[in-house]
């Protein structure tokens, strides 16, 4: 099968499309013929040597496609079913992938849109759980218009929270459509938030990693009220929690995708697609961070 791999760290030019043996599902796993695979920030961090240090490495933790093999004990799907899910193997950017956690693709979604959801929703739900976001609380999301930020906004609104989100002015109408009150990021952000919430906010989630943790701590009153998924060094410096998947995952959120979409409470992000062969260009675009939507590889 064709798969993305790199054998040295560096810029997007180190990425290769190689032939690898197709994986075989273990107990509780399924194998899918991948139709689309999401590209995430962790992919280019891995490629640059900022995370895992072993070489070579494959990439990809989320995908959508059709089931073509079942592991021992799997009885909730059948060969040919359309599914989306998460791969613990980190090799979903390939023609075949193993999924450890999966749900049916909602009828209204195509494969590309389905593949854009699992990682962003799990990351957002995990952070909201760590903050105990619920009805009656006000949450500030810093970097609210991207795929993870918009997922956090919508999940928080679905929980009954009031949400204020930072974004550039061009994305304010989008945030309002998701149920958030938008404010511009940059100098004076804290004052703009206090204009909407004079006493500050109860909680804050930093998705953008733009060096605003001190302001978020000030707005919420304590470092314990802030979680970041993007600023590891800042979290250590300011005593803020850094959310990472190896400390517990919010996998239950996959089961909520279908009901939320049917109820009109989850609008998937805009998707920009690339063929597998253009993986390097997909990485370049993603690292530039200019697109609001999610980058997805089309396969098969």
Retrieve residue 47's tokens. 């490629």
The proportion of the chain whose per-residue pLDDT surpasses 90, expressed as a percent, equals: 90
Number of other residues whose CB lies within 10 A of the CB of residue 13:
10
pLDDT for the residue numbered 261: 95
- Same domain for 104 and 129, yes or no, is no
- Domain region containing 41: 2-117+268-298
Which CATH number do you get for residue 15? 3.90.180.10
Residues present in the chain in total: 300
Residue 109 is assigned to a structural domain of this protein:
yes
Maximum distance among all Cα pairs of the chain, rounded to whole angstroms: 59
Does 109 have pLDDT greater than 90? yes
Retrieve residue 35's tokens. 């139709």
Counting the structural domains of the chain, the total is 2
pLDDT for the residue numbered 286: 87
- Same domain for 137 and 239, yes or no, is yes
Q: Sign of dihedral through CA atoms 74, 76, 81, 84? A: negative
CA gyration radius, the chain: 19
Residue 262 is assigned to a structural domain of this protein:
no
Residue 174 is assigned to a structural domain of this protein:
yes
Residue 254 is assigned to a structural domain of this protein:
no
Rounded Cα distance, 231 and 55, in Å: 25
- Same domain for 140 and 225, yes or no, is yes
Residue 193 φ/ψ, nearest 5 degrees? -65, -45
Cα→Cα distances 293→5, 38, 117, 190, Å = 24, 11, 11, 26
Number of other residues whose CB lies within 10 A of the CB of residue 49:
14
Bond into 56 cis (ω within 30): yes
Rounded Cα distance, 58 and 18, in Å: 10
- Same domain for 125 and 243, yes or no, is yes
Q: CB neighbours of 195 closer than 8 A, spacing ≥ 6?
A: none
Band of residue 93 on the pLDDT scale cut at 50, 70, 90: very high
Q: In what order do the strands lie in the sheet with 138-142?
A: 181-184, 162-167, 138-142, 203-206, 226-228, 241-242
- Same domain for 171 and 98, yes or no, is no
CB contact at 8 A, 138 and 161:
yes
- Same domain for 161 and 52, yes or no, is no
Pairing of strands 203-206, 181-184: unpaired
Cα→Cα distances 209→2, 243, 288, Å = 34, 12, 14
- Same domain for 52 and 6, yes or no, is yes
Pairing of strands 82-86, 62-70: antiparallel
Query: Taking Cα atoms as reference points, which of 249, 220, 146 lies closest to residue 154?
Result: 146
Rounded Cα distance, 215 and 146, in Å: 21
Residue 176 is assigned to a structural domain of this protein:
yes
Query: H/E element holding 220?
Result: helix 213-220
Mean pLDDT across 142-171: 96
Which CATH number do you get for residue 178? 3.40.50.720
pLDDT for the residue numbered 288: 83
The pLDDT tens digits of the residues spanning 188-247 come to 999 999 999 999 999 999 999 889 999 999 999 999 999 999 999 999 999 999 998 776
Residue 7 is assigned to a structural domain of this protein:
yes
- Same domain for 230 and 173, yes or no, is yes
pLDDT for the residue numbered 39: 95
- Same domain for 238 and 133, yes or no, is yes
């Amino acid at each position: 099968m064709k798969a993305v791999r790199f054998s040295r760290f560096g810029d997007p030019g180190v990425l290769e499309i190689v032939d690898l043996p197709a994986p075989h599902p273990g107990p509780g796993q399924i194998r899918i013929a991948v139709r689309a695979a999401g590209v995430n920030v962790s992919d280019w961090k891995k490629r640059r040597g900022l995370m895992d240090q072993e070489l070579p490495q494959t990439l990809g933790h989320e995908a959508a496609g059709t089931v073509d093999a079942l592991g021992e004990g799997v009885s909730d799907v059948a060969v040919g079913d359309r599914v989306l899910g998460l791969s613990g193997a980190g090799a979903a950017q390939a023609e075949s992938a193993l999924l450890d956690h999966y749900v049916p693709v909602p009828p209204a979604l195509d494969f590309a849109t389905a593949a854009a959801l699992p990682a962003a929703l799990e990351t957002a739900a995990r952070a909201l759980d760590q903050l105990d976001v619920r009805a009656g609380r006000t949450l500030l999301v810093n970097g609210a218009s991207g795929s993870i930020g918009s997922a956090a906004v919508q999940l928080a609104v679905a929980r009954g929270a009031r949400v204020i989100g930072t974004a550039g002015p061009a994305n304010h109408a989008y945030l309002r459509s998701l149920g958030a009150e938008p404010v511009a990021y940059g100098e004076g952000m804290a004052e703009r938030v206090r204009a909407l919430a004079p006493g500050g906010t109860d909680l804050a989630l930093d998705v953008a990693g733009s060096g605003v943790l001190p302001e978020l701590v000030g707005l919420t009153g304590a470092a314990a009220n802030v979680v970041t998924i993007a600023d590891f060094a800042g979290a250590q410096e300011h005593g803020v929690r850094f959310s990472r998947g190896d400390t517990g995952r919010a996998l239950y959120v996959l089961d909520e995708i279908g009901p939320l979409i049917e109820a009109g409470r989850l609008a998937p992000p805009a998707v920009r697609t690339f063929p597998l062969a253009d993986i390097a260009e997909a990485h370049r675009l993603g690292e530039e961070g200019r697109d609001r939507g999610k980058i997805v590889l089309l396969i098969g």
